[in-house]
Chains A and B, each alone.
Chain A
Amino acid sequence: MSQWGYVAAGWLVVVVAVVGYATAVLRRGRALSRRLPPEERRWL
Protein backbone atom coordinates (compact mmCIF):
# COMPACT_ATOMS: atom_id res chain seq x y z
CA MET A 1 0.00 0.00 0.00
CA SER A 2 1.57 3.29 -1.09
CA GLN A 3 1.77 6.25 1.27
CA TRP A 4 -1.18 7.81 -0.53
CA GLY A 5 -3.17 4.68 0.25
CA TYR A 6 -2.70 5.21 3.99
CA VAL A 7 -3.48 8.90 3.73
CA ALA A 8 -6.69 8.13 1.86
CA ALA A 9 -7.60 5.42 4.39
CA GLY A 10 -7.06 7.78 7.33
CA TRP A 11 -9.12 10.60 5.87
CA LEU A 12 -11.87 8.27 4.67
CA VAL A 13 -12.30 6.62 8.09
CA VAL A 14 -12.72 9.99 9.80
CA VAL A 15 -15.13 11.45 7.21
CA VAL A 16 -17.29 8.32 7.09
CA ALA A 17 -17.45 8.04 10.88
CA VAL A 18 -18.31 11.72 11.41
CA VAL A 19 -20.92 11.84 8.63
CA GLY A 20 -22.44 8.58 9.82
CA TYR A 21 -22.65 9.75 13.42
CA ALA A 22 -24.01 13.19 12.46
CA THR A 23 -26.72 11.61 10.32
CA ALA A 24 -27.70 9.23 13.11
CA VAL A 25 -27.97 12.11 15.60
CA LEU A 26 -30.03 14.25 13.22
CA ARG A 27 -32.33 11.37 12.35
CA ARG A 28 -32.89 10.54 16.03
CA GLY A 29 -33.57 14.22 16.67
CA ARG A 30 -36.21 14.33 14.01
CA ALA A 31 -37.86 11.12 15.28
CA LEU A 32 -37.95 12.38 18.86
CA SER A 33 -39.32 15.79 17.93
CA ARG A 34 -42.32 14.09 16.36
CA ARG A 35 -43.19 12.57 19.74
CA LEU A 36 -43.13 15.83 21.70
CA PRO A 37 -45.40 18.87 21.74
CA PRO A 38 -43.64 21.82 20.05
CA GLU A 39 -42.87 23.85 23.18
CA GLU A 40 -40.93 20.96 24.77
CA ARG A 41 -38.54 20.37 21.94
CA ARG A 42 -35.91 22.83 23.01
CA TRP A 43 -34.28 23.42 26.31
CA LEU A 44 -34.55 27.20 25.94
Chain B
Amino acid sequence: MTTRLTNTDRPGDGPPAAVDGGPHSTASPATRVLGVLVLVASGVLAVLGLVASPADTELGETVRLLYVHVPVVAAAYLAIVITTVGSVAVLWKRSQWWDLVAGSAAELATLLTALTLVTGMIWGRPTWGVFWVWDARLTSTAVLFLLLLGYLAVRRTTTDQVSRATRSAVVGMLLLPNVVIVNRSVEWWRSLHQDPTLITLDPKIDGLQLFTLVFGIATATLLLVWLLIHRFRVAWMAQRVEAHELDDAIAVRRAEAVGS
Protein backbone atom coordinates (compact mmCIF):
# COMPACT_ATOMS: atom_id res chain seq x y z
CA MET B 1 0.00 0.00 0.00
CA THR B 2 1.93 3.04 -1.20
CA THR B 3 1.15 6.30 0.42
CA ARG B 4 0.95 9.41 -1.69
CA LEU B 5 3.27 11.75 0.18
CA THR B 6 1.89 15.07 -0.98
CA ASN B 7 3.55 18.30 0.06
CA THR B 8 0.60 19.36 2.18
CA ASP B 9 1.20 18.85 5.84
CA ARG B 10 -1.37 16.08 6.01
CA PRO B 11 -0.33 13.57 3.38
CA GLY B 12 -3.41 11.55 2.44
CA ASP B 13 -3.00 7.80 2.62
CA GLY B 14 -4.41 5.15 0.34
CA PRO B 15 -7.41 3.05 1.32
CA PRO B 16 -6.45 0.30 3.85
CA ALA B 17 -5.72 -3.05 2.18
CA ALA B 18 -8.82 -5.21 1.96
CA VAL B 19 -7.41 -8.17 3.87
CA ASP B 20 -6.63 -6.42 7.15
CA GLY B 21 -9.69 -4.44 8.16
CA GLY B 22 -7.98 -2.34 10.88
CA PRO B 23 -6.78 1.28 10.45
CA HIS B 24 -3.45 1.45 8.71
CA SER B 25 -2.11 4.55 10.32
CA THR B 26 -3.02 7.06 12.93
CA ALA B 27 -5.44 8.74 10.51
CA SER B 28 -9.20 8.42 10.87
CA PRO B 29 -12.20 10.18 9.31
CA ALA B 30 -12.14 12.73 12.12
CA THR B 31 -8.47 13.59 11.69
CA ARG B 32 -8.88 13.80 7.93
CA VAL B 33 -11.62 16.42 8.31
CA LEU B 34 -9.60 18.26 10.93
CA GLY B 35 -6.49 17.97 8.77
CA VAL B 36 -8.20 19.54 5.78
CA LEU B 37 -9.59 22.27 8.01
CA VAL B 38 -6.09 23.03 9.33
CA LEU B 39 -4.76 23.14 5.80
CA VAL B 40 -7.40 25.54 4.59
CA ALA B 41 -7.03 27.73 7.66
CA SER B 42 -3.24 27.93 7.25
CA GLY B 43 -3.73 28.87 3.62
CA VAL B 44 -6.14 31.67 4.58
CA LEU B 45 -3.78 32.78 7.35
CA ALA B 46 -0.91 32.98 4.86
CA VAL B 47 -2.97 35.11 2.51
CA LEU B 48 -4.22 37.34 5.32
CA GLY B 49 -0.89 37.64 7.06
CA LEU B 50 1.37 38.10 4.09
CA VAL B 51 -0.77 39.83 1.55
CA ALA B 52 -4.12 41.16 2.66
CA SER B 53 -3.26 42.88 5.94
CA PRO B 54 -1.46 46.22 5.70
CA ALA B 55 2.10 46.77 6.88
CA ASP B 56 2.24 48.33 10.31
CA THR B 57 2.89 52.10 10.49
CA GLU B 58 5.48 51.59 13.20
CA LEU B 59 6.81 48.07 12.62
CA GLY B 60 6.58 47.94 8.87
CA GLU B 61 6.51 44.51 7.28
CA THR B 62 7.93 42.76 10.36
CA VAL B 63 4.50 42.89 11.98
CA ARG B 64 3.73 39.91 9.71
CA LEU B 65 6.08 37.84 11.86
CA LEU B 66 3.63 38.31 14.68
CA TYR B 67 0.99 36.35 12.78
CA VAL B 68 3.13 33.26 13.16
CA HIS B 69 5.01 34.03 16.40
CA VAL B 70 1.99 34.74 18.61
CA PRO B 71 -0.09 31.71 17.49
CA VAL B 72 2.92 29.45 18.16
CA VAL B 73 3.25 30.93 21.66
CA ALA B 74 -0.46 30.37 22.31
CA ALA B 75 -0.28 26.74 21.12
CA ALA B 76 2.84 26.14 23.23
CA TYR B 77 1.16 27.37 26.41
CA LEU B 78 -1.97 25.30 25.61
CA ALA B 79 0.24 22.21 25.26
CA ILE B 80 1.89 23.02 28.61
CA VAL B 81 -1.51 23.26 30.32
CA ILE B 82 -2.50 19.88 28.85
CA THR B 83 0.78 18.35 30.05
CA THR B 84 0.32 19.63 33.61
CA VAL B 85 -3.34 18.59 33.77
CA GLY B 86 -2.40 15.17 32.38
CA SER B 87 0.44 14.77 34.88
CA VAL B 88 -1.79 15.58 37.84
CA ALA B 89 -4.34 13.06 36.50
CA VAL B 90 -1.59 10.41 36.28
CA LEU B 91 -0.55 10.92 39.91
CA TRP B 92 -4.09 11.20 41.15
CA LYS B 93 -5.83 8.45 39.20
CA ARG B 94 -2.81 6.36 38.08
CA SER B 95 -4.39 6.50 34.64
CA GLN B 96 -2.19 5.33 31.78
CA TRP B 97 -4.26 7.15 29.17
CA TRP B 98 -3.38 10.51 30.72
CA ASP B 99 0.30 9.51 30.86
CA LEU B 100 0.33 9.09 27.09
CA VAL B 101 -1.56 12.36 26.61
CA ALA B 102 0.86 14.26 28.87
CA GLY B 103 3.86 12.69 27.13
CA SER B 104 2.56 13.59 23.67
CA ALA B 105 1.54 17.11 24.72
CA ALA B 106 4.96 17.73 26.28
CA GLU B 107 6.72 16.76 23.09
CA LEU B 108 4.52 19.17 21.12
CA ALA B 109 5.14 21.87 23.72
CA THR B 110 8.89 21.45 23.28
CA LEU B 111 8.63 21.81 19.50
CA LEU B 112 6.37 24.87 19.79
CA THR B 113 8.52 26.51 22.49
CA ALA B 114 11.58 26.02 20.28
CA LEU B 115 9.69 27.66 17.41
CA THR B 116 8.68 30.50 19.74
CA LEU B 117 12.33 31.12 20.54
CA VAL B 118 13.42 30.98 16.90
CA THR B 119 10.68 33.27 15.63
CA GLY B 120 11.30 35.55 18.64
CA MET B 121 14.96 35.85 17.68
CA ILE B 122 14.11 36.39 14.01
CA TRP B 123 11.76 39.14 15.22
CA GLY B 124 14.52 40.61 17.41
CA ARG B 125 17.04 41.01 14.57
CA PRO B 126 15.26 43.75 12.55
CA THR B 127 13.64 45.32 15.62
CA TRP B 128 16.68 45.71 17.90
CA GLY B 129 19.50 44.77 15.56
CA VAL B 130 20.48 41.76 17.68
CA PHE B 131 19.20 38.20 17.84
CA TRP B 132 18.96 37.78 21.61
CA VAL B 133 17.70 40.35 24.08
CA TRP B 134 17.11 39.54 27.76
CA ASP B 135 13.54 40.58 27.30
CA ALA B 136 10.99 39.21 29.75
CA ARG B 137 9.11 37.07 27.25
CA LEU B 138 12.12 35.60 25.47
CA THR B 139 13.92 34.80 28.75
CA SER B 140 11.00 33.00 30.34
CA THR B 141 10.42 31.08 27.12
CA ALA B 142 14.07 30.00 27.18
CA VAL B 143 13.79 28.72 30.79
CA LEU B 144 10.55 26.97 29.84
CA PHE B 145 12.35 25.26 26.97
CA LEU B 146 15.03 23.97 29.38
CA LEU B 147 12.37 22.62 31.75
CA LEU B 148 10.76 20.78 28.84
CA LEU B 149 14.12 19.29 27.84
CA GLY B 150 14.36 18.00 31.41
CA TYR B 151 10.90 16.44 31.10
CA LEU B 152 11.80 14.69 27.84
CA ALA B 153 15.10 13.51 29.35
CA VAL B 154 13.26 11.89 32.27
CA ARG B 155 10.81 10.26 29.89
CA ARG B 156 13.55 8.89 27.68
CA THR B 157 15.88 7.56 30.35
CA THR B 158 13.35 5.57 32.34
CA THR B 159 12.82 2.10 30.91
CA ASP B 160 10.11 0.81 33.19
CA GLN B 161 6.69 2.06 32.03
CA VAL B 162 5.17 2.46 35.46
CA SER B 163 8.06 4.43 36.93
CA ARG B 164 8.37 6.45 33.72
CA ALA B 165 4.75 7.53 34.11
CA THR B 166 5.29 8.49 37.76
CA ARG B 167 8.55 10.36 37.29
CA SER B 168 7.47 12.30 34.20
CA ALA B 169 4.17 13.09 35.93
CA VAL B 170 6.00 14.75 38.82
CA VAL B 171 8.07 16.87 36.44
CA GLY B 172 5.04 17.53 34.20
CA MET B 173 2.93 18.61 37.16
CA LEU B 174 5.48 21.30 37.93
CA LEU B 175 5.60 22.75 34.39
CA LEU B 176 2.69 25.14 34.72
CA PRO B 177 3.58 26.46 38.21
CA ASN B 178 7.15 26.88 36.99
CA VAL B 179 6.00 28.86 33.98
CA VAL B 180 4.00 31.19 36.20
CA ILE B 181 6.83 31.68 38.70
CA VAL B 182 9.44 32.21 35.95
CA ASN B 183 7.25 34.70 34.08
CA ARG B 184 6.44 36.62 37.26
CA SER B 185 10.08 36.83 38.37
CA VAL B 186 11.40 37.74 34.90
CA GLU B 187 8.69 40.38 34.50
CA TRP B 188 9.75 42.08 37.75
CA TRP B 189 13.38 41.70 36.86
CA ARG B 190 13.10 43.28 33.43
CA SER B 191 10.80 46.01 34.60
CA LEU B 192 13.65 47.18 36.85
CA HIS B 193 15.63 48.03 33.73
CA GLN B 194 12.95 49.36 31.34
CA ASP B 195 14.80 48.29 28.22
CA PRO B 196 12.87 47.46 25.04
CA THR B 197 10.36 44.71 25.60
CA LEU B 198 9.03 42.53 22.77
CA ILE B 199 5.84 44.19 21.58
CA THR B 200 3.57 41.24 22.00
CA LEU B 201 -0.15 40.92 22.04
CA ASP B 202 -1.29 44.48 21.86
CA PRO B 203 0.90 46.68 19.63
CA LYS B 204 -2.24 48.85 19.37
CA ILE B 205 -3.14 46.93 16.17
CA ASP B 206 -6.69 46.67 15.16
CA GLY B 207 -8.92 45.97 12.26
CA LEU B 208 -7.63 43.42 9.81
CA GLN B 209 -4.33 42.99 11.65
CA LEU B 210 -6.09 42.05 14.89
CA PHE B 211 -8.41 39.70 13.01
CA THR B 212 -5.46 37.98 11.34
CA LEU B 213 -3.77 37.54 14.69
CA VAL B 214 -6.83 35.97 16.32
CA PHE B 215 -7.40 33.82 13.23
CA GLY B 216 -3.78 32.68 13.49
CA ILE B 217 -4.24 31.63 17.10
CA ALA B 218 -7.37 29.63 16.14
CA THR B 219 -5.46 27.90 13.34
CA ALA B 220 -2.59 27.05 15.69
CA THR B 221 -5.02 25.58 18.20
CA LEU B 222 -6.60 23.36 15.54
CA LEU B 223 -3.14 22.31 14.41
CA LEU B 224 -2.22 21.44 18.00
CA VAL B 225 -5.31 19.28 18.41
CA TRP B 226 -4.61 17.50 15.14
CA LEU B 227 -0.97 16.85 16.03
CA LEU B 228 -1.92 15.72 19.55
CA ILE B 229 -4.40 13.13 18.26
CA HIS B 230 -1.84 11.64 15.90
CA ARG B 231 0.99 11.79 18.44
CA PHE B 232 -1.24 10.17 21.07
CA ARG B 233 -2.12 7.30 18.75
CA VAL B 234 1.56 6.76 18.01
CA ALA B 235 2.29 6.74 21.75
CA TRP B 236 -0.56 4.29 22.32
CA MET B 237 0.73 1.89 19.68
CA ALA B 238 4.32 2.20 20.90
CA GLN B 239 3.13 1.28 24.36
CA ARG B 240 1.17 -1.71 23.01
CA VAL B 241 4.27 -2.94 21.15
CA GLU B 242 6.26 -2.63 24.39
CA ALA B 243 3.58 -4.63 26.23
CA HIS B 244 3.74 -7.38 23.61
CA GLU B 245 7.49 -7.59 23.96
CA LEU B 246 6.94 -8.04 27.69
CA ASP B 247 4.38 -10.82 27.26
CA ASP B 248 6.73 -12.63 24.89
CA ALA B 249 9.50 -12.35 27.50
CA ILE B 250 7.20 -13.90 30.14
CA ALA B 251 6.25 -16.73 27.76
CA VAL B 252 9.89 -17.40 26.81
CA ARG B 253 10.96 -17.40 30.45
CA ARG B 254 8.19 -19.78 31.43
CA ALA B 255 8.95 -22.10 28.46
CA GLU B 256 12.61 -22.09 29.48
CA ALA B 257 11.79 -23.01 33.04
CA VAL B 258 9.38 -25.81 32.21
CA GLY B 259 11.67 -27.12 29.47
CA SER B 260 14.91 -27.21 31.52
Given the complex, which residues of B lie within 8 Å of A19, measured CB to CB?
7, 9
B122–A9 contact, CB under 8 A?
yes
Q: State how many angstroms separate the Cβ of A31 from the closest Cβ of chain B.
A: 9
Q: How large is the interface on B (under 10, 10 to 19, 20 to 34, 35 or more residues)?
A: 35 or more
Q: Smallest CB–CB gap between A26 and chain B, Å? A: 6
With beta carbons under 8 angstroms apart, the residue of A10, A21, A38 that contacts B20 is A38
A-B pair number, CB within 8 angstroms: 124
Q: Interface of chain A, helix or strand or loop or mixed?
A: helix
B9 touches A22 (CB 8 A): yes
Q: With A6-B62, A22-B9, A28-B234 in contact, is A36–B240 under 8 Å at CB?
A: yes
Q: Are B118 and A13 in contact (CB under 8 A)?
A: yes
Q: Return the contact of B111 from the options A10, A17, A29, A41 (Cβ within 8 A).
A: A17
Q: Does B203 contact A (CB under 8 A)?
A: no
The interface of chain B, by Cβ under 8 A from chain A, is: 3, 5, 7, 9-11, 13, 20-28, 42, 46, 49-50, 60-62, 64-65, 68-69, 72, 97, 111, 114-115, 118-119, 122-123, 125-126, 223, 227, 230-234, 236-238, 240-241, 244
Interchain residue pairs with CB less than 8 A apart (18) = A2-B61, A3-B62, A4-B61, A10-B69, A11-B65, A13-B122, A18-B223, A18-B227, A21-B227, A22-B227, A23-B5, A26-B10, A30-B13, A32-B237, A41-B233, A42-B233, A43-B233, A43-B236
